[in-house]
Structure 1
Amino acid sequence: MDERTYLLRSGSNRFGAIDFQSSPEEYVPRDSAPAPLTELLSAADIVEAGGDLSYELERALLSGTAMGGARPKAILHDGAREYIAKFTASNDNFPVVGAEAASMFLAERAGIDVASTRVETVLGRSVLLVERFDRGDRGERVLAVSALTMTGLDELQARSGSYVDFLDSLRMNRAPEGTAAELFTRIAFNMAISNSDDHLRNHAALWDGTKAVLSPAYDLSPMRRSGETASQAISYDRKGARTNNFAELLSVRNLYGLSEADASGILERIQGVIHDNWEDAAEHGRLTSADKRLLWGRQFLNPGTLYGFNGH
């Protein structure tokens, strides 16, 4: 189909504020209303009683198929607030949902602005609820844009940009003081949890008509990692450096306007927060003892990340 038809037939409840309509005067959303959060939480009772779940929840909970992404998910509402519900896939043999929930918990403890999350267990499957930051308290749309769009790259270039390109675009759009240090902190945290899926679509900014502000962090998902060598999805300097390593990141601190002492302090804080809050984070993510053994020292604070930094 042509581009106009694609835009006019795509879903209305998209990320950010923009939608496409055939009329300049009448707004007609093309999505069914999001399922209520109460339906998710009472899904077991509904199924046991022979009732019907909404189409989106039935697919995500019972079939494990995806709606709008690589993993099973659905949009839910609780009053005016909306949530992205991320579900365990039927073929998961890695605690994806619990690991992401634990990561969001640790990021908040590290002082990173993150989307509010919690974990529920429904029909024996873990569900991560992430509150949408692109919707206001009354359900209004918030102007949000991905880092991919801000850097002017197309879909095929999502992994060819860099954190520095994103920072440049934020600065051009009058991002507040401290943005560079916050972005440096997020890079370091992604390294510390082995999130190698940190491409430009997994970063965003909010626009208030005057300035661009980093959105709350989201999609902080540890990836499979068997050894001590790993790479980030996008580079953190202007020469293509992607190695998952604190010492390497520290060496390019000048690009983020940080002194060695300030940058080292950020890295030490992240390392300490993850180490000291691991048990609480695992409980938040409802990780089992086996999950914790699988993740600790492999995804979380892998020795390769710390090699060459602070005496390691």
Structure 2
Amino acid sequence: MAKFSTWDDRFDNPRAEAVCLDFAEAAGLRVPDRELRVVNGRSVLLISRFDRSSDGARLSYLSAGTLLSEPAYGYATSKNYLDIASAARRIGVQDPEREMFRRLLVNAYLRNTDDHLRNHAFIHDGAGWRLSPVFDIVPHPSGIRHVCASAPGISRDCNPSIALAGYLKFGLFAAEATSILDEVQDATSRIPSFFDARCVSRRDREMLLACFGLLPKLITS
């Protein structure tokens, strides 16, 4: 699957999404195989389809929106990460709460406003349902209401510290939640190297860090 920039993007979206996926992977989440290329002067992010088997057969795919019977249109929802985890457990996904808590912290750090129910999914590989790799994670300077902002006790800004405080609702012990947060924070410290690896411009670094809510000192030349 190829993802291109559009005329109204405020930054180089394919490079930004590559950085966000690099960050998510470093923070302990599964992400699709990907490659960033330049075609006719435009960035293109190539992402491997994860709804296919190794021999190319189609795997069953179920979005969280479908599982939770949410409308297929629009972004607004009253559902949240706990609802996704509960629904996942009902269809046999193992230990979904820990995975959803980690996703919550990652998306909180990234201020991912494209975090809607169609961007969380499940794959059936013949042995049972499992959460898909994370995808479509990129910040946008907008006021869209998203799943992260719907989580109990979470502000619209998706403050990671507030998100951490909800660990009990995910059935985690304090030490488990803190360990996950430490891994996410460690990935945050590596963002400059992700920028470098993806050749993100200084202007886009400044804009992305502002979206992330991170300090300007993380910007490198």
- For these two proteins, the number of residue pairs brought into alignment is 212
1:142/1:167 CA distance change after superposition, 3 Å: same
* SS at structure 2 position matched to 1:205: strand
Residue among 93, 98, 101 paired with 2:18: 101
Partner Cα distance (1:241, 1:265) in 2: 22
Aligned ranges 1:37-76 → 2 under 5 Å: none
* SS at structure 1 position matched to 2:52: coil
Partner Cα distance (2:207, 2:71) in 1: 36
Q: Is the 8 A contact 2:108 2:163 kept in 1?
A: no
1:242/1:224 CA distance change after superposition, 3 Å: closer
Q: Which has the higher helix share?
A: 2
Task: Percent identity, please.
Answer: 31
Q: CA deviation at 1:286?
A: 2.5
Residue among 212, 216, 222 paired with 2:133: 216
Q: Is 1:285–2:198 an aligned residue pair?
A: yes
Larger Rg computed on CA atoms: 1
Partner Cα distance (1:150, 1:240) in 2: 23
Partner of 1:171: 89
Partner of 1:261: 175
Partner Cα distance (2:104, 2:156) in 1: 10
Partner of 1:126: 43
Residue among 121, 144, 151 paired with 1:236: 151
Q: What code does the residue aligned with 1:98 have?
A: R
Deviations 1:280-299 (A, max 9, x none): 21133321122222222x12
Deviations 1:149-194 (A, max 9, x none): 11122224753122111111101011113x2111111111111111
Aligned ranges 1:110-121 → 2 under 5 Å: 110-121=27-38
* SS at structure 1 position matched to 2:212: coil
Q: Is the 8 A contact 1:195 1:223 kept in 2?
A: yes
* SS at structure 2 position matched to 1:118: strand
1:232/1:189 CA distance change after superposition, 3 Å: farther
Unmatched 5+ residue regions in structure 1? 1-83, 304-312
Partner of 1:162: 80
Partner Cα distance (2:204, 2:73) in 1: 34
**Which TM-score applies when normalising by structure 1?**
0.63
Partner Cα distance (2:7, 2:144) in 1: 28
**Which TM-score applies when normalising by structure 2?**
0.87
Q: Is the 8 A contact 1:119 1:286 kept in 2?
A: no
Q: What code does the residue aligned with 2:6 have?
A: A
Residue among 292, 295, 300 paired with 2:212: 300
**RMSD value, Cα:** 2.2
Partner of 1:270: 184
Residue among 178, 188, 196 paired with 2:113: 196
Q: Is the 8 A contact 1:231 1:243 kept in 2?
A: no
Partner Cα distance (2:24, 2:92) in 1: 25
Unmatched 5+ residue regions in structure 2? 216-221
Partner of 2:64: 147
Q: CA deviation at 1:265?
A: 2.2
Partner of 2:218: none
Q: What code does the residue aligned with 2:165 have?
A: S
